[in-house]
Each structure stands twice: as C-alpha cells, then as structure tokens.
Amino acid sequence: MHITVLRDDLLNGVGPIQAVVETKRSLPILSHLLLETSSSHLSVFGTDLDIGVRKRIPGEVVKEGSIALSARKLYEIVRELPATSLDLIVDDELTATITCGHSEFKIKGLPRNDFPSMREPQQRGIVLDRRLFRDLIRRTLFAVSSDQTRYTLNGILFRVTSSDVKMVATDGHRLAMASSGLSVTNSESPATIDVIIPRKAAAETLKLLRDEPGDVAIEISDNHLLLHTDDTLIDARLIEGQFPNYEQVIPANATKEVAVNREAFIAALRRTSTVLGERALPTTMKLTPGKLVLTCVNLDLGEARDRLDVEYQHEEMSIGFNARYILDFLGVLTTDQAIIRLQDPLSPALFTSKDDTQYACVIMPMRL
C-alpha cells in the first residue's frame, strides 16, 4: 500500500474518527482505525461497535492496500506534521511508514481481516438538508437523559412523517422538541421514520457533519441508522424500545406569557447562579407587571438578586427553576427574545420564542 495525501486532509479525517473509537474495549482492534485505499482515495474507518464512521480522503494512490493503525498514535503523529503532503507506505510485514518533509515514522499495524465490517448504504430512505438535521440535533441534545435505568431516554427521538420532521429529547425534568415543515426528498415512496438515536451517535454526528450547504441521506436497516454525505458515512446502532408520549407533558393551560430579552436573561441567570456552587438549588423567578426578579439563596454562602425588565401583564407570581436547564435552552435559541408561558408555580412551563414556533422546551419547576 502506498498513497500520497495532504496532511490537512488526513488530519481532518483521522481527528473526528479517533474521538469515536473506544480505547478501553477488550478487543484491541477497536482502538485502531482501518485505512484502506481504492483507485482514487483513502478511506478511514473507526468504530466502537455502537457507532462507526468512515471518511473518504482524496489522494494519489500508487499501490492499493489496507492496514489497521492505532487511532490515538496516528492522530498524534499526523497532528504534529507540517502542513504539506505526506506519503504513507505499508510493507508486507504490516509496518506503516509515514514520511513528511524531513520527518519519518514507522508504526506497526494489524491486518484488515481482524477489523469489523461496516454496513454499506443501499440508496434507500430519505434525504434531508444537512444544516436542518444538525440544527434539530443541536436544539435537543442537551435534554437527553444520562440515567442508564431509563434506557429509552438516553437518546433523541427522530420522527419523520409525510408532513414534518421532528426531534425530541427528555430527561424527565425537561423536554426539548424541534421540528420543521417537510423538506424531505426520497428516491422511492414517502417514508416514515420513528427511531431513537443514542446520545453519543447524535453528538458525534453533530461534529462530523460539516455546517455547510448540502444534503444527508438517511437509511434505517436492522436497527441501525445510516447517514451518508459525499465523503462521510456514519453507522449508528439505534436504541430499542418505546419513547414516552411526550405530547402529554406539553402544558395546554400555560396562558401567562413573559417576554424577555435573551441575552439579558442569560447574563442575569449566570450572575445569580454564582452563589449556588455545585448544589442543585432553585433560582426563584418573581414576576410582577413589567418586572422579573431573579433570586438565588445558598445558606452556606449567601444570596444573589438581579432584576430584568420584561413584558408581563398578569398577577404577581413566584416560581423556581433549575437555572442550568433554562441556560441550556437559551444557549441554542437563535432569536433575540425568549417567551415563557406559565400556569402556576407547580406546573411545567413552556419556553419558546416569539419568532420561532417550531422550537420549544418544557421545564418542570422546583419547589421553593
């Protein structure tokens, strides 16, 4: 095997994939990346058996071949090389020689036969706008549960119908949901998808799919999700089970509306949260017409208070929330103004935007 590639191209391929690889697995091969050449490019593949990623890297192929190399060491070597072309040569003893400028490295590899195989796309399923798909993940990922006893909440519900595409995530304390009108194309008949994407697969997909114009093709096969673009293929094992009925927790009687400037709200929440430390204490929101007072009390440390001007024309009301949950929501909101819809101090609140009706977060209050 012999190929000449640009160092930056190889780094852009190896870097994101080595983050997927599981280094503590009992199978040594899973800490490696499979490098394989075809007539015109180099493909780099890594997997932890739950998610696999393959990227195609352009290069000048002198001799075709394959080798599995330590993911961490390959990344560390390529990262330190100068930004020029490099040669990768593999001999019959499965020793890879990397030459770049005046630098030369030799790494022992493993045979391709020891490496797990990856599913290949069958050109079925649907095609979504890449930026839309990334945005749906970005707006819901923070609400995924880390409680291993509630397995179906450890991922994002991905639902595609004939009219819209939607993602929903919840940890039992808050629920984030993002949707969009149908912007799906498919080669066959209209498809319906209803699956749960694991947290790690969603997070790695967010990193791997570039934030630029283009499409992503989506296929479901044998409880696996296949995502592929021009140069990237992602194969993720889906979570089996039934996602809870999220629609029943969306408050229908939250009629008290608060409109607040997003950036001012973020700044005030961060300031008042400084006295909380690591404890999960509530941030009290006291509402009076035109005013919002945020208060945090830590009996071991002290108290913080901040006041904001808001649009609110209902009776006085005090309600407590976990400030981090609100900050997570505000952090992915892209509009200037946030809307909070309340019912009473013990009922869940609906956080939305006046200009974006397709994104919402339900947050349960904390007892004061």
Answer yes or no: are the C-beta atoms of 46 and 116 closer than 8 Å: no
Query: Residue 124 — very low, low, confident or very high, per pLDDT cuts 50/70/90?
Result: low
Q: Residues 317-330: what's their mean pLDDT? A: 96
Split at pLDDT 50, 70, 90, the class of 28 is confident
3-class SS of residue 44? strand
- C-alpha dist (Å) from residue 90 to 31, 94, 237: 19, 6, 32
Architecture label for domain 2-114: Roll (3.10)
Tell me the three state secondary structure of residue 267.
Answer: helix
Q: How confident is residue 299, by pLDDT bands cut at 50, 70 and 90?
A: confident
Per-residue pLDDT tens over the stretch 59-97: 999 999 999 999 999 999 999 999 999 999 999 999 999
| Mean pLDDT across 272-282 | 86
**Fold type of domain 250-363:** DNA Polymerase III; Chain A, domain 2 (3.10.150)
What DSSP state is assigned to residue 42? E
- For the domain spanning 126-246, the CATH number is 3.10.150.10
- Burial code (b: 16+ CB inside 10 Å, e: under 16) for 133-146 equals bbbbbbbbbbbbbe
This prediction has a pTM of 0.89
d(C-alpha 298, C-alpha 281), whole Å: 8
pLDDT at site 323: 95
- With cut-offs at 50, 70 and 90, classify the pLDDT of residue 212: confident
What per-residue confidence (pLDDT) applies to 186? Answer: 52
Q: What is the mean pLDDT of residues 324-338?
A: 94
Mean pLDDT over the full length of the chain: 90
Angle (CA) 216-218-223 rounded to 5° is 150
Task: Please tell me the predicted confidence (pLDDT) of residue 189.
Answer: 43
Amino acid 187: pLDDT: 46
Percent of the chain with pLDDT over 90: 70
* Tens-place pLDDT, residues 44-68: 999 988 899 999 999 999 999 999 9
**pLDDT (mean) for 8-18:** 92
- Kindly tell me if the per-residue pLDDT of 192 is higher than 80: no
Encode pLDDT of 302-323 as tens digits.
999 999 999 999 999 999 999 9
pLDDT digits (tens, 9 = 90+) for 143-166: 999 988 889 999 999 999 888 899
Read off the pLDDT of each residue in 257-270 and give the average, rounded to a whole number. 96
Task: Write out pLDDT tens, residues 222-239.
Answer: 899 999 988 899 999 999
Q: Is the dihedral of CA 228, 229, 230, 236 positive or negative?
A: negative
- Same CATH fold assignment for domains 2-114 and 250-363: yes
Band (pLDDT 50/70/90 cuts) for residue 200 is very high
Instruction: List the Cα angle 14/19/24 in 5-degree steps.
Output: 120
Domains of the chain by residue range: 2-114, 126-246, 250-363
